[in-house]
């Protein structure tokens, strides 16, 4: 617990995962004022949603008076989500307040249940929704990863894979590495079918980013891919360079 000792953090809610290979190529620790970009008023420390354990989650989201919201972005929700959830189709988290405004124009549901990968975005989203007048806001404790880890596959209401921010790319309903790979150009998850598209070039581009990435970027990514392949031929591990970041 080096990070805990170094910064005096209270790490009482950690999602642990085991892997036989390093999930990250390098360790980088940054101290930031805000973990996620979010330009709206909220009180994270005094008003947050009620945490619901995975064991109680199914009952809550199957209730007729509960509106289930997937707080993640479109590239994540495209490969998996909870059954009957509302997907805002946001490109990044900054768009979430606009989604809530549209929701407010309709009759506010009595209960809101929300979820994200590990629970971090829900801390902010639930706090914001409470400041907007939503009275009952619940969030999945530990996020999707905690649910997949704790709930047997036969009893799950989850459908598909869950995108993760490491080299596994996704995990399936058994909490094992999923079937998706990742485009280096835009970092979006790709299915086997996606790699058959004419725009897909390994390590360079896919159908999602081919028409928006510059020629200079493509050349740079192609050179990187060549170095990776040369390293593999020598039996070495290529550390690479920082990928273009997806919107948070």
Angle between helices 96-105 and 120-131 (to 10 degrees): 40
- pTM for the full model? 0.83
CA pair distance 34, 41, nearest whole angstrom:
13
166 Cβ contact partners less than 8 Å away, ≥ 6 residues apart? 23, 24
CA pair distance 160, 153, nearest whole angstrom:
11
The domain segmentation of the chain, as residue ranges, is 31-171, 181-233
> What amino acid positions are annotated as catalytic residues?
116
Decide if 178 contacts 161 (C-beta within 8 A). yes
**What's the CATH superfamily of 31-171?**
Rhodanese-like domain (3.40.250.10)
Digit-by-digit pLDDT tens for the chain (248 residues) are 566 676 666 655 566 667 777 777 777 777 766 666 665 667 667 788 999 999 999 999 999 999 999 999 999 999 999 999 999 999 988 899 889 888 877 767 789 999 999 998 999 999 999 988 898 999 999 999 999 999 999 999 999 999 998 889 999 999 999 999 999 999 999 999 999 999 999 999 999 999 999 999 999 999 999 998 988 888 777 665 544 445 55
């Amino acid at each position: 617990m080096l990070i805990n000792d170094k910064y005096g953090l209270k790490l009482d809610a950690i999602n642990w995962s085991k892997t036989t290979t390093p999930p990250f190529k390098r360790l980088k620790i940054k101290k930031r004022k805000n973990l996620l970009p979010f330009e709206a008023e909220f009180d994270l420390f005094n008003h947050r949603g009620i945490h619901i354990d995975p064991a109680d989650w199914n009952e809550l989201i199957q209730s007729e008076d509960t509106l289930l919201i997937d707080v993640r972005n479109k590239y994540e929700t495209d490969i998996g989500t909870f059954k009957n959830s509302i997907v805002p189709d946001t490109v990044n988290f900054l768009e979430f307040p606009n989604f809530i405004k549209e929701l407010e124009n309709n009759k506010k549901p009595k209960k809101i249940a929300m979820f994200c990968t590990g629970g971090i975005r829900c801390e902010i989203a639930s706090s914001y929704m409470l400041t907007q007048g939503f009275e009952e806001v619940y969030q999945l404790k530990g996020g999707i990863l905690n649910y997949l880890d704790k709930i047997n596959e036969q009893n799950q209401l989850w459908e598909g894979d869950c995108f993760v921010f490491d080299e596994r790319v996704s995990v399936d309903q058994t909490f094992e590495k999923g079937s998706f790979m990742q485009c280096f150009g835009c970092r979006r998850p790709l299915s086997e079918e996606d790699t058959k598209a004419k725009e897909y070039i390994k390590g360079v581009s896919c159908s999602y980013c081919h028409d928006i990435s510059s020629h200079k970027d493509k050349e740079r990514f192609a050179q990187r891919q060549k170095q990776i392949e040369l390293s593999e031929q020598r039996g070495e591990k290529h550390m690479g360079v920082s990928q273009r970041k997806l919107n948070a």
